[in-house]
Structure 1
């Protein structure tokens, strides 16, 4: 157990260093990270749900969709990636209806595709994108870490025993509080806090992060697997590590798009909109 814990800690440090290094560098480095995470998420999703076994052609189409999204992100056509992803998702849905195959195919296309797109869109290429991404990381990591320790220390009623027996309401509440505080701390390290908008956004992202964690637990329980893969020593798979981050980033993307649409669709940097700057 001790050696496994050391391996887990060492892997966690390496993962955090890679994520923060790419975030600091921005540009192509972070776009590569976003694309890599998205492709690995689709690989694990398709493996868990056995898409290739039940629908080889459909799964090949799923891979094609992720490759196209990856190219768009890498060549900085992020504004085109969402409509293209929507088109692939609709086509996958039609394929399922016509061939009577698994709805896990369009689900995987959306889940993995939004992972790459939302990460790249939030980081962007400017300073505000850097702060916005660090803000999201702080909320998600603060939520995840303190939910674990608060739940262990206090215990109490289970949050969703049928999906994830280890999670408690005390852990969820403690993680949310600490996630919000961590996000606010990152924001205040760069700007002055003038209203409650940032804490509210942090609250939405923290709750979304925990929903994402439960969603991945549901998928693994549905297909009887313990880890999404064995790609990361001591941690399992990529989905095991980014499940909360995916939902938080998608929630941030939705918030930003809603604000852009309410402002008449004017093209602006995602990071500045998310932070209200």
Structure 2
């Protein structure tokens, strides 16, 4: 029997929700614990995302994806363990490796750098500002994704960037900004954070949406649907954390320009 339009539209929801709940539970425990366990989670996820990126980029040699993932994890581990600015250039090693191992070199290099920067910044933020800033970041990404998913699927309307990401609509995109602003307002009211956080949250959400779109563009060039099949209902690790990459890199870059009103639990 042919599925109805409504069933087809929401058919992947149960699987997505189950996977999301599992990831949320693991993430919540790791964020709360912080320290070494949180750092190891980020290191492992960074390696997996680099592995997926290499798989999508038609590697010149078959072992390149595994090698790039291991190189990325080892480089990030070394930088985090030594805690010295002199070894920060190691973050560039996976980016350089993309030049020799994969096609679409510019795309691979830029995205590999974004993955490495996001991994380093996540651990650094958790150590410097405590649990609240990580919860705020994850909440923004989740709220933007959930609001965008439900509103976009329900209302539809004009596409945000059809050539790159044909499923994203303006209604879902704007709903994501609203969801992020609500998250910021919750932190302002209940955590007594600066009111500017309400303005910063949609900006970070938009960066997250751009991170999502960037990965969609890479997948379209590679003519694949998901970065891998590691997470049921969500595809690969990159498919789930692409928005977080964009959001974290935005925090890093904006933080270099001026002080940010981010939550601080220290």
What is the deviation of 1:13? 0.5
The aligned runs of 1:198-277 (5 Å cut-off) are 198-259=197-258, 274-275=262-263
What is the aligned residue count? 256
Larger deviation, residues 104-113 vs 238-247 = 104-113
The aligned runs of 1:10-29 (5 Å cut-off) are 10-29=18-37
- In the alignment, is the contact (CA less than 8 A) between 2:152 and 2:172 conserved in 1? yes
Query: Structure 1's 58 and 167: CA in aligned 2 closer, same or farther, altered over 3 A?
Result: closer
TM-score (norm 2): 0.83
Say whether 1:123 aligns with 2:131: no
What is the deviation of 1:182? 1.2
For the residue of structure 1 that corresponds to 2:61, the secondary structure is helix
Residues of 2 paired with 1:133 and 1:274: CA distance?
10
Residues of 2 paired with 1:46 and 1:121: CA distance?
26
- Quote the residue 1:159 is aligned against: 160
Say whether 1:179 aligns with 2:180: yes
Residues of 2 paired with 1:118 and 1:221: CA distance?
28
What is the deviation of 1:45? 0.2
What is the deviation of 1:256? 2.1
Query: Structure 1's 228 and 90: CA in aligned 2 closer, same or farther, altered over 3 A?
Result: closer
What is the deviation of 1:21? 1.1
- Quote the residue 2:83 is aligned against: 77
Unpaired segments ≥5 residues, structure 2: 1-6
Residues of 2 paired with 1:80 and 1:275: CA distance?
28
What is the deviation of 1:210? 0.7
CA root-mean-square deviation: 3.0
Residues of 1 paired with 2:97 and 2:16: CA distance?
37
Query: Structure 1's 184 and 81: CA in aligned 2 closer, same or farther, altered over 3 A?
Result: farther
Query: Structure 1's 210 and 81: CA in aligned 2 closer, same or farther, altered over 3 A?
Result: farther
- In the alignment, is the contact (CA less than 8 A) between 2:50 and 2:65 conserved in 1? no
- In the alignment, is the contact (CA less than 8 A) between 2:38 and 2:123 conserved in 1? yes
Please point out which of 30, 40, 46 is paired with 1:38.
46
TM-score (norm 1): 0.80
